[in-house]
Chain A
Amino acid sequence: MYSSALESEFKKKGIVIGDRIRVEKDGKSNEGLLMPRASESDILVIKLDNGYNVGFSSKGTEISLVKKGPKKAPEIPCHDLKGDISILGCGGTISSKVEYTTGAVYPAISPCELKKAFPEIEKISTIRANQIFALLSEDMNSDHWQIAAEAIKNEIADGVKGVVVMHGTDTMTYTSAAISFMLQDLPIPVVFVGAQRSSDRPSSENEMNLLNSVYAAKSELAEVAVCMHATTNDDFCYLHRGVRARKMHTSARAAFQSINSPPLAAIDYRSKMLKPLSQFRKRSDNGNKKLKADLKINDNVSLIYVHPNIKPKLISSLSDYDGVVLVGTGLGHVPTNPFGDKNAKPVLREVEQLIQSGISVVMSSQTLYGRLNFNIYTAGRLLGDIGVMGNGADWTPETAFVKLSWVLGHEKDQKKVAKEMMTNMVGEISERSVIL
């Protein structure tokens, strides 16, 4: 975006982005293509013939048009309806390219384009592709979970052998958990895949992750899984259970880990390896079961991080929600002040008031690893006594949040909610804490 003064000068001279222009100042002249720029400025960005971009101040500079730029070729529409494996695009880094109007990376490559970019895909399986939306994952909410679930449901009804969902990594595991609850007794694999390095880099791990996810979508698995780099090397990927995966690094390739359970499998399409690392549901386990789809979800649930100096009024302010997930300390605690310290400020009363007003309150832990246990300390017992749910669960805060949203989508009664919450549905609560 250029300053309004520059924009009007361009208009007067018939210059648009992509044209070849000349800038002259103090007797020195430079030529190149006019490039778009991110923030409003009076500095011209010119691409020189050697490919470098350089910024020239427009002050005291004579700008002239040298040659009009080429017209853009019309984009080929993306429709592809045949193929055994369905790739659904939701956006994210895996399908991103540089956006030259903002200078940042944005999701734009359609699954069709990816097919062209990675012809190796079709050596693994025939594919069909559809872009359901193109969003940065932080912009996604439960409406998008429903749209994605609907799309996956339709693909299953259409008889595809597996579904791959390309998704931004930041909130991928919220969506993978949501789909896990919404679409149960899956007859086929639903594999979420993303990338930490954008596709405009030669080092992007998008290719390896995507090809492995297609390979996984063809496999015996019949669960929602997340397929991402296992290590910093471009060697193999892990398949994580959709309700167990968590993004544990801001930028590294091996950011995703299974929390409180081993990954489902290690996978490498190149060596045709799918090595199970824990028990998972197989296509053959499905028998005559039909897909159980329940897409209803309650978007009025909050997720609150407990911290020193947490204000009782923060808890009271949650009274308009239908459900609250607390990310408590340690085994699942909030300040309760059982020893009557004069400086401590408990929030127990406020939590109890929420529960008494009909709000379902669920515990999870900041430690991420390990199981909740309300029986060890007084704080936990007090929380259990007032009806906080979650004692004994080993879920991640995000999975607890998604599960509560989904349970409250079809159940209001607090007792029934508690019963459903504490019933393991898709592997979100494990009976045994395995030695990893």
Chain B
Amino acid sequence: MIGIEIHQRIDSCKLFCNCPSLIMENESDAKLTRRLHPVYSELGEVDVASKREFERERTFEYLAYKECNCLVEADEEPPHFMNPDALGIALEIAMHLNCKPVDEIHIMRKIIIDGSNTSGFQRTAIIAMNGELKTAKGLVRIPQISIEEESAGIVESKDNSQSKQNTSTFRLDRLGIPLIEITTDPDIKDKEHLHEVAEKIGMIMRATGKVARGLGTIRQDLNVSIEGGARVEIKGAQELKMLPVLAELEENRQRGLLAIISELTKKFKGKLYFEKEITDVTEVFSETQSKMIRAGLDSGAKVFGIRLPHHSGFLGKELQPNKRYGTELSDYAKSAGVKGIIHSDEEMGKYSISSSDLSKLWEKLKMKEDDAFALVVAEEKTAIKALENVWARATTDFIPNETRRANPDGTTSYMRPMPGRARLYPETDVPPIRVTDELISSVESGKSDSLDEKRKKLQKMLNSEMAEVMIKSRNLPLFEKLTARFKKTEPMLIASTLENTLVSLRREGFELKDVPSTLDDLFSNYESGLFVKSAISEILKLVTKGASVQSAVKEGKLQRITGKELQKIAKENGNDLQKIMQKYRLNVDPSELSKSKK
């Protein structure tokens, strides 16, 4: 079963301050250094995900930009009111998805102490509920739509072995940009269906023309579960086409884990459990040739090991391409701040661990025939914590609910336990927002056409093939703008310029810098009769080299030949239509020519 969560940036100022939503390319103007700690929710619970995060000693650095950051993003000023433009756009999208706006919006703080928010939480609020999406394979329910703040973008994460501290650096330009989050129920039937749902929701949002475009402005998270498995959330899939791959590989992972759990349970005679025995094995490696261990020992680290009874052979079982059960344990160890684990199903040669090291280790850990081990090289406290995590994961006899990160190859890595409700508590700095009838009707009056309405309109303007291309196109808002402005120009010409001419020019290496203003210039000169349709491609080529449309026409001798001049040419060429068009294809409108002949 698959559900999807789509996060789309809204095209407006930031959600809780008046900063513009900009992604900066210049150097940052200021740097802040902060630390975070876990807190209790209104129900008196501490969220398991944030507790796990706090186990690492972390310092956060934030790069701030004068142009798009203020004291709100610096967590030095309380949030202002929720941006009414952003809320209006989110409500409009909710209406297009048949959701019912809630009667009162309560802004919540979602605790996230990985540093991606200066405050230690993300502000989020449900704005509408109980919607549905019609698809080829039936209805997909949309239980909720929220509006939330974009997080800060990570720049780098560094471990300082001397201070035993991790320092992560984030940039604040992105922080606070409004996002709409659309969540579906696990109604998605298969991979094709997943593609359809994700694409359709994306199109519905883009059809409003009020959401941000470009790389990173939309993100999809998946919820995948199989019978007997767990609900696993996969975050950060950037490309639509990766979603089916992620879903399939996650289903495989859960199936593989179920098989491992069932076999291990047999080996443990009914209950997968063993005592936690974490041993300092540093002395085993006092003479080691392993460069990696040597380097650790030289910097003051220790080697700790844990015996994993009956686990021999299991750690090497592949769950996803190049991801083994050992990788699962290693990911849990990493969350305590180590770089990874060395386990007994690995080739010891790759660490240059000698057989004498190994036999000493077996002795020290009191290993038996079918046992496995895991080692970590780290400072004592971190090492013990890491192996405790390994033990806790290895003695879990079910698939844990997790949040996992999407890797570019479609596999996933453990990020944190699935956060629970304890992660959310009210944002007391912003009062609840009553969704009044006035608010609803003002959103309705400014509402853009729905996707279906748009499709009908396009079908009237274009042939059915081009209409379908245009409805899915990123260029749709620009097409709408251009057709509204240039009423004398055939919509088909505008559409094919956007979808065909520009694409083939790009393929030939001609890239327009500013498409909207160039096309504006192009079609206004076209309407004044400066050139004919067939010259467009040549004109645009010259524009990519820095010319204006008018100078490109002059330079390329692409002026339209019309009226008396055209009659003269026709006479000179004996009114041979074919001959004239061969010579003057880029200057003559064939329909005028055929008229003038008559």
Contacts and interface: CB of A to CB of B under 8 A. Distances in A.
Residue in B38, B124, B146, B421 with the greatest tally of chain A CB atoms within 10 Å: B421
Q: Dominant SS at the A interface? A: loop
A202 B108 contact: no
Interface in A1-60: 28, 30, 35, 38, 43, 45, 47-57
Contacts of B113: 202
Interface stretch (B235-243, B255-263, B328-336, B425-433): B425-433
Contacts, number: 120
A252 B77 contact: yes
A251 B102 contact: no
Contacts of B104: 43, 45, 54-57
Contact of A252 (B76, B119, B124, B126): B76
B142 to A, nearest CB: 13
A38 B130 CA distance: 27
B37 interface: yes
Contact of B121 (A199, A201, A207): A201
A28 B100 contact: yes
Contact of A199 (B39, B41, B74, B129): B39
Given A54-B129, A202-B50, A98 B42 contact: yes
Contacts of A50: 421, 424
Given A200-B40, A201-B119, A54 B106 contact: yes
Contact of B428 (A35, A98, A197): A98
Contact of A43 (B103, B118, B119, B130): B103
Contacts of A38: 431
A54 B421 CA distance: 14
Contact of B78 (A204, A207, A233, A251): A251
B36 to A, nearest CB: 4
Interface string A54-75: 1111000000000000000000
A138 to B, nearest CB: 17
A104 interface: yes
Contacts of B75: 197, 203
Contact of A202 (B36, B100, B102, B420): B36
A201 B39 CA distance: 7
Interface stretch (B27-35, B246-254, B341-349, B482-490): B27-35
Interface string B265-297: 000000000000000000000000000000000
B423 interface: yes
A31 to B, nearest CB: 12
B120 interface: yes
Nearest to A18: B43
B108 A53 contact: yes
A30 to B, nearest CB: 7
Contacts of B424: 50-53
Given A100-B426, A207-B37, A56 B102 contact: yes
A235 interface: yes
A233 B33 contact: yes
B71 A252 contact: yes
A203 B423 CA distance: 15
Contacts of B33: 233-235
Interface residues of A, number: 40
B557 interface: no
Contacts of A201: 39, 109, 119-121
Contacts of A104: 428
Contact of B434 (A43, A49, A251): A43
Contacts of A30: 129-130
A276 interface: no
Contact of B421 (A45, A51, A55): A51
A105 interface: yes
A253 interface: yes
B175 to A, nearest CB: 13
Contacts of A232: 32, 74, 76
B111 interface: yes
A357 to B, nearest CB: 45
Given A47-B421, A52-B424, A55-B105, A203 B71 contact: no
A203 B78 CA distance: 12
A227 interface: no
A55 B428 contact: no
B422 interface: yes
A103 interface: yes
Given A51-B424, A55-B106, A233 B34 contact: yes
A208 interface: yes
Interface in A180-212: 197, 199-204, 207-208
A346 to B, nearest CB: 41
Interface string B144-182: 101000000000000000000000000000000000000
Contact of A234 (B35, B111, B130): B35
A52 B421 CA distance: 8
Interface string A95-111: 00110100111000000
Given A100-B42, A202-B113, A251-B78, A51 B105 contact: no
A54 B126 contact: yes
Interface string A328-363: 000000000000000000000000000000000000
A279 to B, nearest CB: 30
Contacts of A208: 35
Nearest to B103: A57
A388 B109 CA distance: 53
Interface in B39-69: 39-42, 50, 59
Nearest to B112: A202
Most buried by B among A49, A57, A201, A235: A201
A434 B32 CA distance: 30
A202 B111 CA distance: 8
Interface in B477-533: none
A232 B69 CA distance: 15
Interface string B119-143: 1110011100110000000000000
B428 to A, nearest CB: 5
Contacts of B130: 28, 30
Contacts of A234: 33-35, 59
A231 to B, nearest CB: 9
B76 A98 contact: no
A202 B121 contact: yes
B146 to A, nearest CB: 7
B143 to A, nearest CB: 9
A30 B420 CA distance: 19
Nearest to A53: B106
A43 B106 CA distance: 11
Contacts of B71: 251-252
Interface in B85-111: 100, 102-106, 108-111
A51 B420 contact: yes
Contacts of B32: 232-233
Interface in A283-334: none
In the complex, which of the residues A57, A202, A203, A251 has the most CB atoms of chain B within 10 Å of its own CB atom? A202
B421 A200 contact: no
Nearest to A49: B421
B103 A53 contact: no
Contacts of B110: 51
B39 A200 contact: yes
Interface string A250-289: 1111000000000000000000000000000000000000
A57 B432 CA distance: 13
Contacts of B59: 234
A421 to B, nearest CB: 37
7 contacts: A51-B420, A56-B102, A98-B426, A100-B426, A103-B428, A202-B50, A202-B121
Interface of B: 32-42, 50, 59, 71, 74-78, 100, 102-106, 108-111, 113, 118-121, 124-126, 129-130, 144, 146, 420-426, 428, 431-432, 434
Given A52-B125, A234-B35, 5 more contacts: A51-B110, A52-B144, A52-B146, A55-B106, A202-B120
User: Which 10 A/B pairs are nearest by Cβ-Cβ distance?
Assistant: A55-B104, A202-B120, A51-B421, A51-B424, A57-B103, A53-B106, A233-B33, A252-B76, A202-B36, A203-B120
